[in-house]
Amino acid sequence: MSLADSERFSDIIQIHALKAAYCRFVDTKQWPQLQALFTADVVFEGFGSAPSGASLEMFIAGISQRFANAVTVHHCHMPEIAFLGPDRARAIWAMMDLVDLGEGGSPIEAPDHRGYIGHGHYEDEYRYENGAWKFAFKRLTRLRLDPLPADYPVARTDLRAADPDWLKP
Q: For residue 136, is it within any domain?
A: yes
Residue 34: CATH number of its domain: 3.10.450.50
Specify the pLDDT at position 107.
Answer: 59
Q: 6 pLDDT band (50/70/90 cuts)?
A: confident
Of 16, 15, 97, 94, which is closest to residue 63 (Cα–Cα)? 97
Q: Judge whether 47 lies within some domain.
A: yes
Q: How many domains does the chain have?
A: 1
The 10s digit of each residue's pLDDT in 100-131 is 988 766 656 556 788 899 999 999 999 999 99
Domain range for residue 36? 3-148
Q: Which residue has the higher pLDDT, 7 or 96?
A: 96
| Cα of 48 vs its chain's centroid, Å | 12
Q: What is the pLDDT of residues 51-95, one digit of tens each?
A: 888 999 999 999 999 999 899 999 999 999 999 999 999 999 999
**pTM score of the predicted model:** 0.92
Residue 165 lies in a domain: no
What is the maximal distance between C-alpha atoms in the chain?
57
Residue 86 lies in a domain: yes
What are the CA-CA distances from residue 14 to residues 32, 57, 83 (Å)?
20, 24, 13
Is there a domain that residue 159 lies in?
no
Query: Does 155 map to a domain?
Result: no
Whether residue 89 is contained in a domain is answered as yes
